[in-house]
Amino acid sequence: MKIITLFAILVVLMMGVVYGVMFATGEEKADMNGQIVGICLADSQNENNTQNSILVEGLITGNSKAYNLTVKINKDTGIFKKNGNKRENATFNDLKTGDKVMVMFTGPFVESYPPQTTAKEIVIVPS
């Protein structure tokens, strides 16, 4: 009985350590890791282009094939720069062609070529 109690306590402690590290680092798994190959600025004169977007080439989590994906950026999208273990706030203007990025998606994919979706968060990763 003492062994079972001790084992249960150890399991709870290990779970606490794992979840504590996850929350302390604030890391969320990226839906896509890639490189910016194009930047599209919103045009208020064109009803088909009302949001800023970036074209990202890279790997979508769970796939081994590289994809091009248009990622729309709206007012709710968080943009950050990774600096060591810290994340600093950034803006759309900080995104440059050639930057390596981690993208977290929100919402559905539009079936077009290239596919389109909206970013929940974009993290610029140092090269």
Structure tokens at 69: 């994906």
What is the rounded CA–CA span in Å between residue 53 and residue 118? 9
pLDDT tens by residue, 48-107: 667 899 999 999 888 888 889 999 999 999 999 999 888 999 999 999 999 999 999 998
Give the pTM.
0.73
CA neighbor of 105 nearest in space, from 66, 53, 65: 53
Indicate the Cα dihedral angle 97, 99, 102, 107, nearest 10°.
-10
pLDDT tens by residue, 86-97: 899 999 999 999
Give yes or no for residue 125 having a pLDDT over 90: yes
What is the rounded CA–CA span in Å between residue 84 and residue 125? 9
Burial of 85 (0-12, 13-18, 19+ CB in 10 A): exposed
Q: Out of 2.60.40, 1.20.1740, 2.40.50, 3.40.1130, select the CATH number for domain 32-125.
A: 2.40.50
Q: Domain coordinates of the chain in residue numbers?
A: 32-125
The secondary structure element, H or E, covering residue 2 is helix 2-25
